[in-house]
Every structure is written in structure tokens, then in C-alpha cells.
Amino acid sequence: MDHLSLEERDSGVTVLTLQGGSGNPLSPGLVQELSTVMVKLTDAPPRALVLSAGDSKVFSAGFDLPTVGSYDPTHLTAFFEGFLGILDRMLRLPCPIIAAVGGHAIAGGFILTLACDFRVVGTGRKKLGLSEVDLGAAVPAGAQVLLTERTSPQASRYLCQTAALIGPEEAYRIGYADELAEDANVRALELAESLAAKPGAGVATSKLLLGAELADRVQAADREGMEPFLATWFSNEAQDAIAGLVRRLKG
């Protein structure tokens, strides 16, 4: 795989590492590889899964706007549906998923961590949050459901409507971060191994009892919200802002 690595450990833990280059953008290639891996893991789930970005200073800065920013509605819808399918499989995967958030996680990268069961966030200067409204686009409805589940209705409302980017301490205070650690990768692996070592299917079934119901709510929200979300994305204001950001990204 070009954008991911997959390591299966003797403990029953699998470590899935994003390695999509500078900023770990959620490119069509990375999304396709993630989708393929999630199908594989659904068919043969590990005891626990760690989602990491290795030593990168950026977990993921979000969608690959230089590529998907120029998509027409048909292609963009297909791309987003592929991404949403990954979130759905993560929520329904019969094992706990621990995100090792050792770097910045913004927009789509932040949403990806919300589909994990637990988030270990590295200490130090990090930016975490949803920047969509600063571009004139709405935060996808399913992402808002997930953020509400992981934090609180008011915290979700605030982050989604203000585009505020928060640090680790605030992320812990509102419930997004389950733990803070100097080394998020090390602590996430420790947590995953402790969960993998528990007997029987208790952990996996406990995850599914909530995960499937949550996945259904996210899926329903995205079905209802896709059309208004796309309307904001393709508004003149958002298209101008996206084009401006792409120019800045390209230097």
C-alpha cells in the first residue's frame, strides 16, 4: 500500500498507520486504501485496532483539497460516500479502535478520529477541530452526530459553528480526548493491548452494542444532510474560499 501500513502484532492488536505524505491529506488514494483495509478487517477483525500517523506532526489535516476541490458534484459525492463508508465500517467493526492522535487533526482528519472508540492525544502544541465553516461549507451532519456523542451537544455545536481549533487540554476537558500522553502512540498501543488481553468476546460485543446503533444514526443524518452539505460546498463563497486555500497550499 502506498498511503498506509498495516502491522499485525502477536498480542492480537493491529496497528494501522497513515503515511500519505506531508499533512497526511485524505486523498482519493488514501481513502480507497482505507476502504479496502476496513473491508479486510471487517472480515477478519483483530482483538483491537490502533489508528496512528506514526511520528508525523500531523495526524491528518483533512481532505486533499488540491485534488477534490476541483471535483464536480457527481465525483465529490462519490468521494464523500467512500469516506463515509469507512466511518460506518469503523463504527461497526467488532473490536475497539484507539486513535493515537500525536499531531494536528483537522477537518476530515478530525472526523476520522471521531469514528474511533477512544482517542489518546499527545501533549504539546496541537490543533484539533473542524474548519469547514471558515471555507463557507457546512460540517457534515454525521460528523456532528459523532462529535456530539464523543463530547456534548453544546461542545459539538460550538466547534462545528465557530471552526475553533482546540489544544489537548481543552480536548480532554470536553471529552474528545480520553487520555493525554507525552507519546500518544505508546499509550494507545498499551491501551489496545490491555483491551485485547481481556477474555472472550465481551469487549467486542460491548463495542457493537453501541457502535451499530451509533452507525445507524450517523448514516441517517448523512442521508438527510448530504444535499444541503453539497449546496454549501458548491456555493460561490465556498468555491472561492476553497480555490484560495488551494492556491496557498500550492505555495
Strands 4-8 and 13-18: antiparallel
pLDDT digits (tens, 9 = 90+) for 105-145: 999 999 999 999 999 999 999 999 999 999 999 999 999 99
The C-alpha atoms of residue 88 and residue 79 are separated, in whole angstroms, by 14
- What pLDDT score was predicted for residue 145? 98
Predicted TM-score (pTM) of this structure: 0.97
Residue 73 CB neighbour total at 10 angstroms: 11
Length of the chain (residues) = 251
pLDDT over 70, % of the chain: 100
Strands 179-181 and 118-122: parallel
Q: Residue 31: pLDDT above 90?
A: yes
The alpha carbon of 126 is separated from its chain's Cα centroid by a whole number of angstroms, namely 16
The three cell numbers of residue 206 are: 460491548
The C-alpha atoms of residue 141 and residue 138 are separated, in whole angstroms, by 8
Distances (CA, A) of 219 to 36, 73, 193, 236: 19, 20, 30, 28
Q: Residue 20: pLDDT above 90?
A: no
Q: What is the CATH number of domain 4-196?
A: 3.90.226.10
Specify whether the CB–CB gap between 63 and 140 falls below 8 A. Answer: no
pLDDT digits (tens, 9 = 90+) for 160-208: 999 999 999 999 999 999 999 999 999 999 999 999 999 999 999 999 9
Name residues whose C-beta falls within 8 Å of residue 109's C-beta, 6 or more positions apart in sequence. 24, 26, 58, 59, 60, 61, 62
Residue 101 CB neighbour total at 10 angstroms: 32
The C-alpha atoms of residue 134 and residue 240 are separated, in whole angstroms, by 12
Specify whether the CB–CB gap between 234 and 243 falls below 8 A. Answer: no
What mean pLDDT is reported for the chain?
A: 97
The C-alpha cell 489535516 sits at 61
Contacts 24+ apart (CB under 8 A), 151-158: 151/175, 151/176
- What pLDDT score was predicted for residue 1? 79
